[in-house]
Amino acid sequence: MTSIALFNNKGGVGKTTLAYHLAHMIRRMGLGVLAVDLDPQANLTSMCLEETEIEELWENSSELINQGAALQGLPGTGRVRSGQTIADAVRPILEGTGDIAAVEPACLQPGLWLLPGSLDLSRFEDKLSNEWSRAYAGDVAAIRTSTAFHRIVEQARVSVEADVVLIDVGPNLGAINRAALIAAETVLMPLAADLFSLKGLSNLGPTLREWRQDWQSLVLPRVPAGISAPRAEMRPLGYVIMQPEMRLDRPVKAYKRWLERIPWVYSAMVLAESPPSRDDGRHRIATLRNYRSLMPLAHDARKPMFDLRPADGALGSTQQYVKTCYREFRELSEAVLARVEAES
């Protein structure tokens, strides 16, 4: 099993879209996939589930869960049940009533599962932040809190026997993302060729190294034998360039200028290579074209862009575009898995 976190310290680069399509394509390649939504915005959940299903997931209040009550007669498709989100899993820790609660992943299709997110997860931010330094001293409650995401994902992965875990996280360096990323074996970075993505890389690399060092040297030696804790490996797999929609106010020259700087910044800041490499291809896994014209159709059909059919509105030349999309995501998935194997 391997876990891959998709992360960039800059939002709006297509990270969640990439996670969603990778999950579907890797599943199609014959591997069991567990997608985990650890972004408090729950964008991956909204891509995977219908609104009625999300409403059912989010219907239970904390009081109802604590009393063991069950809601009856809620609309939905039957794929998910109330009280089965990441926020539900950490609620006992947040409220001081116990350790993590077991959650049952939603089965999207055979071989593909989702641990749904929730807007309520943002309430866990302060708790994680306060407990981080206490974990350094070996405080058991703080260690349970800091390892909560790792243990939730581990339990879910075992229950569905997934081969690959894809973790979607928000675009920041806060406490929720810190706990999510230390639970990941590898990190895949989607980038746009612009100043903001480069600045995000500059912040991300040193921060990941600091988190790794602090966790491995200060916390891991103090983890009690009965608590499963991550290694905080967070090995960088490489980056994927997400091409923008070219506009007259952002000509190709500007795109190329930032694109040429990415290898150096990635090498220097993420990998801490000295001297930094200017090799244009060594760490770039793929460059994905902009498929913005397919996204509305895919959203309405509730399926990946590369699965669109004429009945979904993908008519004429659009079908060729769909085939190109399939080929690119297939090649990307193969390349990502190859890098995971090489890093193992």
Taking only the tens place, the pLDDT of each residue in 329-341 is: 999 999 999 999 9
**One-letter amino acid identity for 133?**
S
Kindly report the backbone phi and psi dihedral angles of residue 245, in degrees, each rounded to the nearest multiple of 5, phi listed first. Answer: -80, 115
Residue 69 inside a domain? The answer is yes
Residue 84 inside a domain? The answer is yes
* Greatest distance between any 2 Cα atoms in the chain: 63
Number of domains forming the structure of the chain: 1
Looking at residue 35, what is its pLDDT? 98
CA-wise closest residue to 103 among 135, 60, 143: 60
Residue 224 inside a domain? The answer is yes
Beta strand spans in the chain (E):
2-6, 33-37, 106-109, 112-115, 164-168, 186-191, 235-242, 284-288
> Domain span at residue 206?
2-253+285-290
Residue 165 inside a domain? The answer is yes
Dihedral sign from CA coordinates of 152, 155, 161, 164: positive
Euclidean distance between CA atoms 90 and 97, whole angstroms: 10
Residue 30 inside a domain? The answer is yes
b/e map of 282-310 (b: 16 or more CB within 10 Å)? ebbbbebeebeebeebbeebeebbbbbee
DSSP 344: -
Residue 307 inside a domain? The answer is no
Looking at residue 314, what is its pLDDT? 92
**Tens-digit pLDDT profile for residues 191-203:** 988 888 889 899 9
Residue 191 inside a domain? The answer is yes
**One-letter amino acid identity for 178?**
R
CATH for 118? 3.40.50.300
Residue 32 inside a domain? The answer is yes
Q: Is the pTM of this model over 0.85?
A: yes
Beta partners for 35?
114, 166
Which stretches of the chain score pLDDT less than 50? 61-78, 82, 248-249
